[in-house]
Amino acid sequence: MANPQLAEYRSKRISADRAAALVKSGDYVEFGYCLSKPIAMDMALARRKDELFNVNVHCSNTLSKLFIAEADPRGEHFTYSTGHCSTGERQIMGTFGFYVPSSFGQNPEWFRRAYRPVDIAMIQTCPMDKHGYFNFGPTSTFLKACCEMAKTIVVEVNDKIPRALGGREEAVHLSDVDYVVEDPGACVDYYEVKSPPITAVDMKIAEYVVSELEDGACLQLGIGGMPNAIGKLIAKSDLRDLGIHTELLCDAMLEMHKAGKITGRRKANGRGKIVYTFALGSRELYDFIDDNVALAMFPVDYTNDVRVISQNERAVSINSAIEVDLTGQVCSESVGTRHISGSGGQLEFHWGAYMSPGGKAFICISSTYEGRKGEAISRIKPILTPGGVVTTPRPTVNFLVTEYGKVNLKGQSTWERAERIISIAHPDFRDELVREAEKLGIWKKSNKRDRS
């Protein structure tokens, strides 16, 4: 570091407790997104619980413990909001935490248009580099827009964060930062997210999807057993010159890259680059990201822009859901009124992929899930569970896939949709679904009745 820069850095260095002391009752505090959530400052803010009231804290999809929630479980001092529920956040919804409905790609504009005020941004970053920048690590999303609009910016540096190259809007400069917190004791290694084991159902669904892919396809997929199954099949396939333009970078994509399938040579946007806005996965994935020029991190209003997605030929969107009704409405964020996750960028990518030349969009679900008593429950419903949220509306849905097949819903009337959707439901539920379709007036006498 040059001496003037070093002097400025030292002048801005404060403890986590001093950073927490900046917060006043009624303030809006931004913790950022997922892996950018601070640790030391969250702990320090929790220690001030009894001094504060009506402090509004926003974060999304956080993996680390939320210390303010632990200190104030009834939300008497803090109000927490999230744009996408992680497993931990799910447990506090409706008591301490509340959901912010969002279309992920629009999030930066929330801040720039001042729809979401920010009194203090408290964000975990990489240590400052020799040019005076604090890299956000593999979480860009809306962080730069938040920093642009925040009245006060405090960064909490963590030397265990991989440095993610841009793209754009991947860092904030020392000159824009008000305070720096160094707390080695609170610096934890980046949280590894291990996907569940790949099941036979995952593998079957993956086979249907991979059979639709072509050389030069540009992929978006999420995290979990099914995306990992797709990654494994692609790695072993004859597919060539695939590209990545995604919201989430995950281990399945790393596996495809190691197999030589990802070149990005045919991409219109970010040619030759793996484009993403945040990453979740293994330590190996984070090591792959660190200072890697093959990747380019962008803000979410670029990665999730339908116009940008659709410019890549053969764009492919692969996402999961909680349940689907017989007209094709997709719920991916709640079971009735019980909140599970969030809208994310599913609608943006599903729409953008279909609009691209030769593009395809897939909603993938297992036909059933196990209930609390061990019983099988169909994910295909006559109507969505009352209170369930429509994440992807029926006119947008392209392919729907279960372990029993894949169907294209584009251009299909309600009775045709019902027939196709029932054909990929679990056999044990098909007759019942036919009866319900008849009650709903979306079943013709001429429809196929062999549901075996």
Q: Which residues are catalytic?
A: 247
CA 368 to CA 47: how far, in whole Å? 45
- List C-alpha distances in Å: 146 to 32, 115, 123, 234, 276: 8, 11, 10, 37, 19
Instruction: Tell me the β-bridge partners of 361.
Output: 317
Amino acid at 426: H
Buried b (16+ CB within 10 A) or exposed e, 344-377: bbbbbbbbbbbebeebbbbbbbbbbeeeeeeeee
SS3 for 187-246 is CCCCCCCCCCCCCHHHHHHHHHHHCCCCCCCEEEECCCHHHHHHHHHHHHCCCCCEEEEC
Please name every residue paired with 362 in a beta bridge, in sequence order, or none if there are none: 318, 399
The whole-angstrom distance between residue 94's C-alpha and the CA centroid of its chain comes to 21
* CA 411 – CA 399 distance, rounded (Å): 12
Cβ atoms within 10 A of the Cβ of 108, count?
23
Q: In terms of residues, how long is the chain?
A: 452
Q: Distance (Å, rounded) from C-alpha 45 to C-alpha 25? A: 12
CB-CB contact of 357 with 316 (8 Å)? no
Instruction: Outline where DSSP puts E strands in 322-423.
Output: 323-325, 330-331, 334-335, 338-339, 360-364, 368-370, 376-378, 380-381, 399-402, 405-408
Cα angle: 289, vertex 293, 294; to 5 degrees: 75
User: ∠ CA(192), CA(303), CA(331), 5° rounding?
Assistant: 75
Torsion sign over Cα 16, 40, 29, 126: positive
**Cα(431)–Cα(7) distance, integer angstroms:** 74
Amino acid 211 reads: S
Q: How far apart are CA 413 and CA 217, in angstroms?
A: 29
337: number of Cβ within 10 Å? 11
